[in-house]
Amino acid sequence: MRQYREANEEVGLPLNSPDIFTVAVLEPAISLYKIVVTPVVSILTRPSLLKELKAEESEVFCIFTHPLQAVLDPALAISEQLVDIGSENWPYEVELH
C-alpha cells in the first residue's frame, strides 16, 4: 500500500511487514503546507520496530509517540500535549483550540 511505501521512505518502516495492520483510512485533510494528507491508522504488533525507525531529515522533523487514549478522547490531549503551545515546535501561528 502507498502509505507503507511512504512510511518506509520517511522513517524506514519495513515494507511488507507481517507486524503492521491497517485499521482505518481517515478523511483527507489539507496540511499547513497546503498538501492533501490522508491519515492512515495502523497497529504495530511488534513494538520493538519503533526503535529501528530513523527520520529522513529532508522529510520528517521528528518521530514521536502519543497515547491512543488522547486521540480517542480529545479532552485528554490537554494533559498529553505533543508539544507546548507557543514553543518552537508548535506549528500554528495562533491557538486553534
pLDDT digit string, tens, across residues 7-24: 999 999 999 899 999 999
For residue 51, pLDDT beyond 60: yes
pLDDT at 22: 92
The helix (run of H) or strand (run of E) holding residue 34 is none
**Whole-model pTM above 0.85?**
no
**Bigger pLDDT: 6 vs 72:** 6
pLDDT at 77: 67
**Bigger pLDDT: 90 vs 45:** 45
What does the alpha-carbon distance between residue 26 and residue 41 come to, in Å, rounded to a whole number? 8
